[in-house]
Every structure is written in structure tokens, then in C-alpha cells.
Structure 1
């Protein structure tokens, strides 16, 4: 439907009203003025007739009466006729009475002869034209003896009325024009004011709530503008409050480490924070408004969301999310309610417990490995002690062999305990940051570690080659760093074949001091590399135990690197040897 401007609706209505009023006035005024003017003319003719009647008193000669009629008729521009009681014309201002017919049957004269003034407008046979007549009785001593009649042509009345009509029409046209102009001005003003209100309301709809509408002098429009301004102020305040609360909520959700997922009653995503998207591998922006089955392919999480939507009590559960890496999530679900307290969906909070699970697994493995590592020498010691107690003392050679076994296994127990205590001390120093590091040269530390391992290398005819870049310094704990390098060289010796070569180097690369220990041993499979630095982790259990060691050496190296703010890495492949690298920050 086509919309029309208020200006033209108001103006057309005003103009239509003016035109209807004008036509009504123009249509009714002629009748009113004609009747008014005819009545006035009739009274004027009656007054003239009565004046003439007074001048006829005492005249009885028809000739004198006729002469008086002609004289007064010329002076007053009025036709005057005098008749006797029988209707015979005694005098006429325009015609010869002797040639005029009897006028006793004329309506106005007949009425006058009955003693009443009479008027009529009719066609005159004598003058051959339309005339307006008025007659009054002529009395002598109280007796009606005739009648005096005056008349004028209606053209005189019409001419006077036309003059009046023209003046009235011109005046009405001027009034209509002025009223139309005033109506246009008023309509434009009202339309402009309402247009400003409309533009202001549209700007409010576009959230431009800082604008204020001007207050008009028109009370109703002013009240409307004030109401709109007040509404805009309240909306602005509420919008600011809502925006602030939304920003605070988004900031809280974004800063949370826990994943937050909100769904409506139909299972469509309402809110998902960044942490939730990261945990589930989903883009939060693309998830809004979509069904949970479209967003997530995890059956466990879909089932948990379904339980949270239907359960009257808070729900909990564990969810496994496969990926790179795999994640273990702990989920807590609760009902999401609207302002009226009705269930509107559910909110799920996801906690990443992957590290806790991994630590729990490490703890279990550690307990199992420690138990196993301690049980083996203890079993050996117990077996040797029982054998000695059962008579081996009587055989000196056997007793000596079993005593050596007890001593060897005791040394193994001591080594395991020493390594465990060292790892514990390193962890505590790492957490408390109590280790004091001092700037020192790297080369002497590495050479001291090599000297410590030379006898063991010589026993397997293994040569240790070195490459050092001069002037290398870093903030270090000499004893700890030396023990780490000793562990790496010791491992390289154990897993190298007799007659092999081990390369130990220390160089500067970018802002790091890089210490490398490379062997030509059996190498390590790629599947073992992520766990090689775990406590008691062995690539080949049988070979590792045969070669000795506690299974804690590489774990000690990792912790020594960490307390130095360094990292350790390994490059290896089966049959091609291994290279362990310590990356120290340069001083």
C-alpha cells in the first residue's frame, strides 16, 4: 500500500473543508440575500406607496391624480398607479389611464382593496416585462375608496443582488485563499515536527540513543518528543548496562580456563567460550545457533548434554575427546533457567583433567616401577641371605659369592634411592626457585664429566671425541650440570658397541649454548621418544637391567635442564645411534 505524507493528508482535508464551506456559502447566500433584498424592496415600495397616499388626500380629479403620479414616478424612478374601489385606473406614471384595463383583479390591488397591503411579482401585460408590485389601501374618512400601487422592475433587484454576489464571492475567494495558505503553513509545520519525531524515532531504532529531539511549542507534540527523549535515555542506559554486563560476561568466559557450553531447550548452542572451543576443537563463532549434533561428533558429550537437559539435578561425568592430543574432560551440567524460572536449556562446564590423568598415570607407573626396581635387589638380597643362613657359611667360596651379591644389590638400592632423592630435590628447587645459578664457563664442566666416564669408556674401548667453541659461558650450577652430562655420556657408553665413538660438543647457536652427546649405538624407536625422559621408562627392559642403571638418569637430566631454564631434546632412529642435546640460555 502506497503511503502518503501527512502534509498532504492534512492539507487536502483542510482544503476540502474550505471548498465545501465556500460552496455551501455561495449556494445559500443568493437565496438568503434575494429573500432579504426582495423583502426590503417590498417594504420600501410599501413606504413609498403610503407616502404617495398621503399626497393624494383631497384630490379627486383623475387628471390631477395622473399628473401627480407621473411627476412622483419620474422623481423616484418608480411606477405609480392609482385605482378606485372599482379597479379603474385613475392615474399611472408610465401609461395613459384611459387606455389601461381594469386592475381590480390584480392580486396586490385586490388585497389592498380589502384593507391590507399586498405584494406580488409577476409579468405586466401593460409594460410587457416582469415587475415587482406593492399596493396599499387608499382611505377617505376611514372608508376604502381605492388603492395606491408602486412597482419597480426585478432587474433592479437582480442588479443589486449581482453586485452583492460579486462582493461576497470575491471576499470568500480571498478568505479561502488566506485560509488555504494558513492551512498549508500549519500542515507543513505539523508535518515537519512529526517528520523530525519520525527521524528521531528511526535514529533511536538504529541505536543512536545520544540524539535528543527538539521540544516544540505545540503541547501534544512537545509531550510526545519529551516521552521519546525519556525513552531514548532509558534505552541508552539499559543498553549501556547490557553491553557492560555482556562485555564483563565475555571477559570472564574468555579468561576462564574451563570450557563453558550453553544450549537451549532444543539442544542448539547458545554460548561457547574460547576455552570450550579449544578443548573440543570447534570454532565458537561458527557454533552459535547450531544443533549440538552438528557441532560435535563426540557421542559421550552429546549424551551428557541430553542428560543435562532432562535431569532435574546437576549432572557430572567424564568425557574422552580423541584428537591430537587426546583429552580427558570432567563435565558438570546444570539447568539453565529464564527470568520466569522456567527451564530454558542447560549449561555445561568442562574441566581439562588430561594433565591430572597423566600425572595419576605417572604416579601409578612410578609406584609400580619403584616397587619393581626395589623389589628386585631386595629379593636378591633376601635370597642370598637365606642361602647363607642355610649353610653357605660352611662353604667359604659360596659365602663370598653371596656376600658380593648382597653388596652389589645394596649398592643398586643405594643408587636408586640417591637418584630418587636427587630428583625430589631438583623438583623442590624448581618449584621454590631456590637454586642459585652463577655465571661460569661450559668447557671445564663438560671436560670434568668426560674424565668421570673415561674409565668406563676405556673398558669398552670406546673413544670420546670433543668439539668446543671457545668462550662459552652460561648461568649454571656446576655440580648439577656436570651430573647431567655424566648421565648422558654414561648412557651413550652403555648403549654403544665396543670400539665405538662418542662425540661430545659445546657450541653457541643464536642465543643458546648447545651441548650435544652423540653415540653410534642401537638407537631409539620413534614411538619411545615422547616418554624417554620419564622416570623408570626403559626402551628395552631386559637390556637395560643387564647394562645396569636405575632407569632415572634421563629423568635427572630433564630436571637439571629445567632448573637451569634450559630444554633437552633427542634425535634418534633405530640402528643409527642417538643425539641428546641440552639447550642452555647464553649468559
Structure 2
């Protein structure tokens, strides 16, 4: 803007200088012409007066008489008077000796006068050494020209006057330029400053500094422009605030949605994804935004449905399987994006991960099937032996007693199964309240081993208790912890061969305690380790039923440990034994 101010100042000063210069030249020329016109008229009158006085032959031919007559008519010496005959010979000159002067026949004013006209000429005088104006008139009698009277006057005074005038003009021009520079600079500053202020605010607005305002209070057109700029800035600030708020709300919603959202443009490129999509696809958002959906999604089925929505502009819902980065089942909603003109400009895809739902549905179905299967076995046995007894087997006392014992055992097994199912349901729904208290870990383990002593003794199993030192106390629910240990011991006794060993170890640090139950039993195949905590899951189904197990013990243990904010893991080698590790917080 400084360049514009300098340009404006120089332009105005240039115009002022040009106007002053042109006017000065014009008035100087007018003044010079006026001086020359006056001098010309003066010399013409002087010459004509003298020509009238010397036009007589007796006067013109006699130099003495001629000189007297001229002095009578023009006694002053301000005007140079020269009388020349028609041959150019100087007869008289009041400034020089006529005898010493050269012939004037070739002078332009002389030629004009000899032709009967008034000759006027300006030139440098070799005789006097400065510019002179010459006016020559013919001396004639009876229409016969026999000589010329020439009046001349120095141009020095006029030239000096013209020079002084030019000096005054240039001095005035310089003073005018100095004063004008100050005035024009102030004027240009007053004009440019509002423009600079408006430009500053406009530039700030382009840099998103919407709080900037033009500080101008003028009432003219610039003031109106400043007011319009301020109103625009205020309006933009409000609109950008609303846009920012809407963007933050939208970003907050998209970020915190558990469902994935993808926006795909009409060019089939991904323009927006939320964090849930990144998790589902296993790729960071900045790596897939801008790519073709078929390239970024890595799912042919999903891409096929996106293309269908783009081509047909129809809204639909579909279940899609993806296999990268892991297998998932997605419930996907496809909807075309319609702009304000009613044109389809893309597709909005919403993905719901229903893998867990499908897995739970499968588990529920399997659970129902397992429960039905498990219940059917004891019920079938009870029904079969009851029918046998009713058909006459009661007459044989020993057979009757054996059948009734089997019915009693199957009933007990059925009761335990139903009890475990109910307990597991309560534990999963967290309907069993926790009664926290200080528990001495070694005493609790000793109590649990004592309960299982008879079962272990029947199989001649050796159970090694943990070291009594140091004492380990923890804040937990005593009944839940006892049930965990009992179930693990029951499982170890059931799957350890006769004469085997079971060891229980405990360790503690500043935050957690670790309980390990190790046996030398049949072990668990490595491929089965991930499923042993499932309900009714058995590695050796025939042996499990023979042992009287319900298939729910480890599932109950897992949920009890989780309720106590702990963690359970298992390590096993087939044929070499199994180790269950339970980690619980001390408080």
C-alpha cells in the first residue's frame, strides 16, 4: 500500500507541476509577445515620424541637415536611429559612425522596407554585441522610395525580464512542490489509511481471524465500505463458529460411535472414516482416505454393495463377512448421499459389528443343545430303570436296590447339573453379591484340600500344600475364592491317574497374589486349550461323564475369577499334566 501512496502523491504532484509549468510558459509567452508588440509599435511610430521628417531630398541628401533633423524629431538616445539610402549605404546612425558601418542592403528589414513594407527583424547586432529589434520603414516622396529609416532597440531588458520571470516561475514551482508534497502526502494518507485498514482486516479474515474489525468512523463512502466489511466479518465469525460447533459435534459423534461410518464420493473414493472403521479394517484412517473403496476395504462383497448403491442410488441393508484383519460379521446399511439439488453425490456406509452377537447366538444354540443332551442322559437312565422296575424288576431285591442306586446317582447328577447351571447364570448376571473381607490364603487352601481329601485318597493322589510362610492375606470374597479352589481341585482329581500328584503353590507381590494348581494328569491337547472354559465343553466326553462332571466347573471358575477382578490362564502338555494359574488383586 506504500507504493500506491507514493504513486498517488507523485501523480498529484506531477499534475500540479505540469499545470504550473504550462501556465507559466503560456503567461511568459504572452508577456514576451506583449513586450515585443509594444516595442514593435514604439519603433514603428518612431521610424515613421522620422521618415516623414527626412523625406525631403534636400534634407535626406545632406548628412548635416539630416542629423539635425533627426535630433529634432528624436532627441533621446534610447532608440538607435539609422538612415540608409536605397543602395544600402548608411547615411546616419546615432550610435555609430556611418562611415565605418557596412552596407545594409542585404538586411531583411531593409529589403522589406525597399519594397514599401514595414520591415521587422530580431537578431544579434555585431556592432553593439547584443540582441536588437529592428523596424524599418521606407522614406518615400511622390510614391518614390529613395531611402529607409530604421529604428532599433536593445532586447536585453526584455530578455532580462523574461529570465527573471522564468526564475520566479521556477522558484514558485519549487515552493509549490514542497508545500504540495506536504499537503498531498497528508491527503493521500487520509485516503490510503482507510484502504490499508480495510485491506488488513480482509487479509486477517482470509487467515480465519474473524474477530478483526475496521476502526474507521468516517461517514463517507469509505466509512460505508468499512461498515460493510465489519458486518461481513461479524457474520462470518458467527457462521464459522456455528460451522465449527457443528463440525465438533459431528466429529464427537463419529469418534465415539461404536459403529463404523464411511463416506464414499461419486468417484468411488473414500472421503471420510471414523475410528470404528479403522478398528474394523485394521488400517489407519489417513492411509485409506482418498483411495478407491475396493482398494482400501479389501472386501469384494462390501465393495460390490457400495458399487450397487452408487449405481442405483437405492438404500438397503446387508450382512457382510470380512476376513481382514480378522474374520468378522458386519450388519451394513448402505444409503446414497443426496445434495441440496437432489443429485446423488456419494454413499454413506454404516457398519455394525455383529460378530459377538452371532457368536453369542451360536453359543446359546449350542448351550441349549448341550443342556438338552446333558439332561437327556440322566433322565433317560432314570426313565429306563424306573420302567424296568415297574415291569417286575422290583421283585428281585438285589436288582431293585441296584436300579434304585443308579436312579439316585443319576438324580444327584441331574441335581448338580441344574444347580451348576443356576449358579453359572447368577454369576454371569452378577447377581451373587460379594462379601469382601480379610482372608488368610493358606488356611483357605487347607480347608478346601480337607474337603477333597476323601476323593483324593480313593485315587491314592498326593496333594502338596503351599508353604505356610510368609502369611498371605488378601481382601476378597471367601466363598467365591473357596469355590474357585474346590472346582480346580475337583478338575485336577478327576483327570489325574491313580497314584498321581497335585501341587498347590502361592506367590505374592505388592499388588497381586498368584495361585497355581498343578497336576500330573492326562493333560489337554494344545488345540483344545482355548475352549476349555466354555460351558459343557469336554476334552474327553466319555471320561467326563464317567467322572460325574457336569462340564460347567471351569466356566464357573472363569466367571468367579472375573467377578473378583482377576485373571485365569492354563498351561498343559498332553500326557504330562496341567497347570491352572489364578491371579487376584490383594485389595
TM-score (norm 2): 0.79
Give per-residue Cα distances to partners, 1:192-235, cap 9 Å, x unaligned.
88677666655544444555566598967666666555554544
Q: Tell whether the 8 Å contact from 1:514 to 1:584 is kept in structure 2 after alignment.
A: yes
Corresponding residue for residue 256 of structure 2: 255
| Pair 243,176 (structure 1): closer, same or farther in 2 beyond 3 Å | farther
| Pair 307,573 (structure 1): closer, same or farther in 2 beyond 3 Å | farther
TM alignment of 1:102-141, pairs within 5 A: 119-122=118-121, 132-133=134-135
User: What is the deviation of 1:18?
Assistant: 7.0
Paired residue secondary structure (1:38): helix
User: What is the deviation of 1:399?
Assistant: 3.5
User: What is the deviation of 1:577?
Assistant: 1.0
Corresponding residue for residue 451 of structure 2: 452
TM alignment of 1:512-531, pairs within 5 A: 512-531=512-531
Which range is displaced more, 488-497 or 159-168?
A: 159-168
| Pair 351,107 (structure 1): closer, same or farther in 2 beyond 3 Å | same
Corresponding residue for residue 574 of structure 1: 574
Aligned with residue 36 of structure 2, among 38, 42, 65: 38
Counterpart-to-counterpart distance in 2, 1:564 and 1:393 = 51
Corresponding residue for residue 486 of structure 1: 486
The number of residues matched between the two structures is 558
TM alignment of 1:125-274, pairs within 5 A: 132-133=134-135, 152-153=151-152, 156-157=154-155, 159-174=156-171, 177=174, 182=180, 186=185, 189=189, 201-212=202-213, 215=216, 231-274=232-275
Paired residue secondary structure (1:403): helix
Give per-residue Cα distances to partners, 1:281-323, cap 9 Å, x unaligned.
0101222222223322122222232233234332212222335
User: What is the deviation of 1:364?
Assistant: 0.9
| Pair 166,192 (structure 1): closer, same or farther in 2 beyond 3 Å | farther
Corresponding residue for residue 495 of structure 2: 495
Q: Tell whether the 8 Å contact from 2:281 to 2:324 is kept in structure 1 after alignment.
A: no
| Pair 101,367 (structure 1): closer, same or farther in 2 beyond 3 Å | closer
Matched, 1:542 2:542: yes
Q: Tell whether the 8 Å contact from 1:82 to 1:147 is kept in structure 2 after alignment.
A: no
Counterpart-to-counterpart distance in 2, 1:322 and 1:485 = 40
Which range is displaced more, 504-513 or 184-193?
A: 184-193
Corresponding residue for residue 87 of structure 2: none
Q: Tell whether the 8 Å contact from 1:42 to 1:134 is kept in structure 2 after alignment.
A: no
Q: Tell whether the 8 Å contact from 2:262 to 2:277 is kept in structure 1 after alignment.
A: yes
User: What is the deviation of 1:493?
Assistant: 0.5
Counterpart-to-counterpart distance in 1, 2:93 and 2:512 = 149
User: What is the deviation of 1:417?
Assistant: 0.7
Corresponding residue for residue 298 of structure 1: 299
User: What is the deviation of 1:266?
Assistant: 1.1
TM alignment of 1:342-353, pairs within 5 A: 342-353=343-354
Counterpart-to-counterpart distance in 1, 2:576 and 2:169 = 118
Corresponding residue for residue 561 of structure 1: 561
Corresponding residue for residue 506 of structure 2: 506
Counterpart-to-counterpart distance in 1, 2:35 and 2:253 = 94
Paired residue secondary structure (1:349): strand
Paired residue secondary structure (1:528): helix
Q: Tell whether the 8 Å contact from 2:315 to 2:334 is kept in structure 1 after alignment.
A: yes
Counterpart-to-counterpart distance in 2, 1:287 and 1:107 = 105
User: What is the deviation of 1:271?
Assistant: 1.2
Counterpart-to-counterpart distance in 2, 1:54 and 1:402 = 186
Paired residue secondary structure (1:536): coil
| Pair 128,503 (structure 1): closer, same or farther in 2 beyond 3 Å | closer
Counterpart-to-counterpart distance in 2, 1:217 and 1:47 = 68
Which range is displaced more, 463-472 or 29-38?
A: 29-38
Counterpart-to-counterpart distance in 2, 1:537 and 1:446 = 27
The unaligned stretches of length 5 or more in structure 2 are 85-89
Which range is displaced more, 169-178 or 399-408?
A: 169-178
Corresponding residue for residue 282 of structure 2: 281
User: What is the deviation of 1:475?
Assistant: 3.1
TM alignment of 1:467-482, pairs within 5 A: 467=466, 468-482=468-482
Give per-residue Cα distances to partners, 1:128-157, cap 9 Å, x unaligned.
99753376999xxxxx9x999985426x24
Q: Tell whether the 8 Å contact from 1:66 to 1:90 is kept in structure 2 after alignment.
A: no
Paired residue secondary structure (2:526): coil
Corresponding residue for residue 532 of structure 2: 532
Counterpart-to-counterpart distance in 2, 1:572 and 1:64 = 165
Q: Tell whether the 8 Å contact from 2:261 to 2:277 is kept in structure 1 after alignment.
A: yes
Q: Tell whether the 8 Å contact from 1:524 to 1:574 is kept in structure 2 after alignment.
A: yes
| Pair 433,219 (structure 1): closer, same or farther in 2 beyond 3 Å | farther
User: What is the deviation of 1:26?
Assistant: 7.9
Q: Superposition RMSD on alpha carbons, in Å? A: 4.6
Counterpart-to-counterpart distance in 1, 2:104 and 2:397 = 197
| Pair 505,531 (structure 1): closer, same or farther in 2 beyond 3 Å | same
Q: Tell whether the 8 Å contact from 2:487 to 2:557 is kept in structure 1 after alignment.
A: yes
